[in-house]
């Protein structure tokens, strides 16, 4: 049997996540048998690759392999598509037609989104699994088929069974072996590998240099929740490759391509109120950290200019927007002459001036702005900008209106 690395190369699977490797290894072990397999996982995780591996490593590899998307076939024609029909069985049935189970005889049939099958079709499928028999629509003759069935679904099957949407006996027939593919957010070490692969592919496709992410952008990428999983990551890589002129992408640019990037990371299956509050409060902290980082960088630049060029008018004019913003934040008003005097008065004596790096270190050590204070400040500013309309302010802050209301009461704003 081929090794795991060989299988990954053959089927172009990127990643070394332990859960992914365990799923692939299990698929390789069951492939030589005729056991029915159910592949589970969220939409976009790549479930369609598993049945191809199983088919190619089985004794059926030279027979037909047919993939059927059960959710894409209308309920009125699904039985005809799967099992075939006789001439005149229904309006428009002008000829006898073979179904997928007849065409795939001796091979493998992949039923994608099997949870979407109507209950009447589930009964027919159960009969195929039990004794390999089926009846065409409009016929009374029982036919035999020898197919290996691999099914896949992104539904929570136990919930579907409880709601009466899926037969319990069929579920246990399909899930003799269950292979669960992990979502992309649980494969943090694979995310950047996949992005680089997609970026390289699109660079070749569109004949342009490959997109590269800086370190901060990589950190943002691997902490994003990716509700659309690998499919979403691939779309993001393609969009950036086509739209961005610069081939080096930073964190601020990447944010524009990540819907609701503040939800980092998101535990989708968690529905408790405490988890929701934690996620919302974390959103505010992320935004506060990004703004704080920008403020510190601006202050560093102003400090270095003052150290290197002294009290020149050019330094003051070049940094006037920053000086104005600082003055307004701390005094509520701005006066250019007062600010010039303030800067000149606080300019360090050239004789006592420390090195550039020592000065930056001192600035960072004196930073007294806590994350708590930054959060309060952001909420106040947002409420002022939106005339105290909580709905608009919450949207701007990236949190729910309920969370904003709770914070207003908590901080007595």
Q: Identify whether residues 193 and 109 lie together within a single domain.
A: no
Which class for 129: exposed (0-12), middle (13-18), buried (19 or more C-beta within 10 A)?
A: middle
pLDDT given at position 353? 46
pLDDT given at position 348? 45
In a domain, 334, yes or no: no
pLDDT given at position 286? 64
CA separation, residue 256 to residues 36, 71, 123, 260, 397 (Å): 43, 32, 48, 9, 16
Q: Look-up: residue for tokens 């493998």?
A: 108
Helices (H) and strands (E) in the chain, counts: 20, 9
CA distance 117 to 121: 6
Q: Which residues of the chain have pLDDT under 70?
A: 1, 261-291, 293-294, 297, 300-302, 304-372
| Residue that finishes a domain, picked among 155, 182, 209 | 182
pLDDT given at position 365? 43
* pLDDT tens digits, 83-135: 999 998 888 888 999 999 999 999 999 999 999 999 999 999 999 999 999 99
Name the residue among 58, 126, 155, 139 with its Cα closest to residue 96.
139
φ, ψ dihedrals at 307, nearest 5° = -65, -45
Q: Identify whether residues 191 and 173 lie together within a single domain.
A: no
In a domain, 136, yes or no: yes
Percent of the chain as helix, strand, coil, to the nearest 5: 55, 10, 35
In a domain, 38, yes or no: yes
Q: Where are the alpha helices (DSSP H) in 207-228?
A: 215-222
Q: Identify whether residues 27 and 163 lie together within a single domain.
A: yes
How many structural domains comprise the chain? 3
CATH of the domain at 126: 3.40.50.300
In a domain, 243, yes or no: yes
| Residue that finishes a domain, picked among 143, 161, 182 | 182
Name the residue among 204, 196, 259 with its Cα closest to residue 226.
259
Contacts of 243 (CB under 8 A, 6+ apart): none
CA separation, residue 142 to residues 95, 128, 129 (Å): 19, 11, 14
Q: Identify whether residues 156 and 64 lie together within a single domain.
A: yes
* pLDDT tens digits, 250-267: 998 999 999 875 444 443
Torsion, Cα of 97, 101, 105, 110 (10° steps): 130
| Residue that finishes a domain, picked among 182, 217, 243 | 182
Q: Identify whether residues 177 and 192 lie together within a single domain.
A: no
Q: Identify whether residues 165 and 101 lie together within a single domain.
A: yes
Q: Identify whether residues 226 and 178 lie together within a single domain.
A: no
In a domain, 260, yes or no: no
Domain of 232, in residue numbers: 187-255
pLDDT given at position 381? 83
Q: Identify whether residues 367 and 239 lie together within a single domain.
A: no
CATH of the domain at 228: 1.10.8.60
Q: Identify whether residues 45 and 87 lie together within a single domain.
A: yes
In a domain, 138, yes or no: yes
pLDDT given at position 315? 61
pLDDT given at position 370? 60
Q: Identify whether residues 28 and 152 lie together within a single domain.
A: yes
Q: Identify whether residues 198 and 285 lie together within a single domain.
A: no
Q: Identify whether residues 36 and 99 lie together within a single domain.
A: yes
In a domain, 210, yes or no: yes
Output the CA angle 262-263-266, nearest 5 degrees. Answer: 160
250 CB neighbour count, 10 Å cutoff: 14
In a domain, 213, yes or no: yes
């Amino acid at each position: 049997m081929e090794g795991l690395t060989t299988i990954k190369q053959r089927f172009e699977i990127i990643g070394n996540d332990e859960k992914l490797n365990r799923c692939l290894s299990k698929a390789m072990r069951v492939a030589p048998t005729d056991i029915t397999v159910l592949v589970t996982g969220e939409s976009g995780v790549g479930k369609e690759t598993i049945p191809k591996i199983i088919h190619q490593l089985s004794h059926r590899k030279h027979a037909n392999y047919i993939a059927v998307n059960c959710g894409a076939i209308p309920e009125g024609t699904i039985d005809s598509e799967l099992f075939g029909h006789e001439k005149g069985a229904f309006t428009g049935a002008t000829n006898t037609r073979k179904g997928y189970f007849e065409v795939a005889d001796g091979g493998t049939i992949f039923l994608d989104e099997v949870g979407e099958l109507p209950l009447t079709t589930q009964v027919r499928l159960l009969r195929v699994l039990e004794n390999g028999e089926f009846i065409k629509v409009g016929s009374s003759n029982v036919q035999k088929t020898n197919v290996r069935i691999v099914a896949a679904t992104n539904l929570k099957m136990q919930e579907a069974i409880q709601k009466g949407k899926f037969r319990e006996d069929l579920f246990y027939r399909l899930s003799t072996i269950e292979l669960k593919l992990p979502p992309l957010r649980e494969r943090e070490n694979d995310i950047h590998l996949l992005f680089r692969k997609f970026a390289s592919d699109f660079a070749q496709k569109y004949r342009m240099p490959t997109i590269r992410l800086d370190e901060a952008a990589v950190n943002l990428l691997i902490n994003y929740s990716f509700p659309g999983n690998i499919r979403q990551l691939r779309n993001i890589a393609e969009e950036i490759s086509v739209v961005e002129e610069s081939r080096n992408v930073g964190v601020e640019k990447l944010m524009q391509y990540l819907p609701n990037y503040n939800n980092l990371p998101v535990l989708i299956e968690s529905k408790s109120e405490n988890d929701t509050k934690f996620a919302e409060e974390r959103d505010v902290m992320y935004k506060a950290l990004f703004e704080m980082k920008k403020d510190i960088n601006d202050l560093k630049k102003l400090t270095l200019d003052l150290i290197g060029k002294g009290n020149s008018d050019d330094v003051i004019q070049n940094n006037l927007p920053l000086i104005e913003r600082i003055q307004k934040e701390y005094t509520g008003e701005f006066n250019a002459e007062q600010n010039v005097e303030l800067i000149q008065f606080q300019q360090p004596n050239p004789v006592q001036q420390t090195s550039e790096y020592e000065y930056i270190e001192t600035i960072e050590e004196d930073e007294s702005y806590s994350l708590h204070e930054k959060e309060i400040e952001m909420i106040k500013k947002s409420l002022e900008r939106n005339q105290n309309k909580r709905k608009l302010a919450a949207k701007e802050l990236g949190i729910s209106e309920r969370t904003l209301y709770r914070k207003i009461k908590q901080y007595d704003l």
